A and B are shown apart, each in its own frame.
Chain A
Amino acid sequence: MEMVFIAAALIIGLGALGAGIGFGLLGGKLLESTARQPELGNQLQTKAFIMAGLLDAVPMIGVGIAMYLIFVVAG
C-alpha cells in the first residue's frame, strides 16, 4: 500500500518540478522579450497564455491519476 502513496508522490512531485521549470523559463522569456520589444507585449502575452496551457497538460493529468491512486486504489 505504501508503494501507491510513493507512486502518487512521485507523479505529483516530478510533475510539479517540470511545470515549475517550464513556467520559470516561460515567465523569464516573456519578461525578456517584452522588455526588448514592448510593442509586441500584447501578442507575447497571448502566446504565453497558450503555451501555459500546453505546459501544464502533463502535470494536470498527473494530478488526476495521483488523486485516483490515493483515494480509490489506496482508499
Chain B
Amino acid sequence: MSPTRKRINRLPFLQWLATETGLIVVWSLVWFTESRLAGYSAFVGGLIYVIPNAYFAHRMYRFEGARNAHLVVGNMFRAETVKLALTAVFFAAVFILMEPVHVPALLFTFAVMVVLSPLLRWFIRPKPQR
C-alpha cells in the first residue's frame, strides 16, 4: 500500500515559530537587564531549541492518518534522533565558536523553552482540515 500525502490536519507551523520566537525575545530582554552578553546568550540558547524542534515537527507530520501509522512512528523515531544530534552539534558549535558566552543564560533559556514548548503545542494544536 503506497503512502498517501494528503493533508488531514492544518498545521500551525508559523504560529508555533512566531510564538516561540516571541518567547525567546521576551526572555532575552529579561536577561539583557543583567548584561548584553547574557541577553545575546539567552537568545542563542532559545534558537538552539527552536531550530531542531521545527525540524522535528515538520518530520513528525510528514505523514498522517491511520493508514500511514507505521510511517508516522518511523518518522517520529528518525526525527527524534536527528533532533538530539542537532542539539548536540549546536551546543558544541556555540561552546567552541562563541567566545565569550554567558552559560547560565544559555542553558536556562534552553531549559525554559524545553519546558514551555510542549505547553505551547498543547494550546496551539493542529486542527483537522474541513
Contacts and interface: CB of A to CB of B under 8 A. Distances in A.
Interface in A4-54: 12, 16, 19, 23, 26-27, 30-31, 34-35, 38-39, 41-42, 45-46, 48-54
A16 B84 contact: yes
A3 to B, nearest CB: 19
B73 A63 contact: no
Contacts of B67: 38
B66 A34 contact: yes
Interface residues of B, number: 42
B36 interface: no
Interface of B: 8-9, 48-49, 53, 56-57, 60-61, 64-67, 69-70, 72-73, 76-77, 80, 83-84, 87-88, 91-92, 95-96, 103, 106-107, 110-111, 114-115, 117-118, 121-122, 125-126, 128
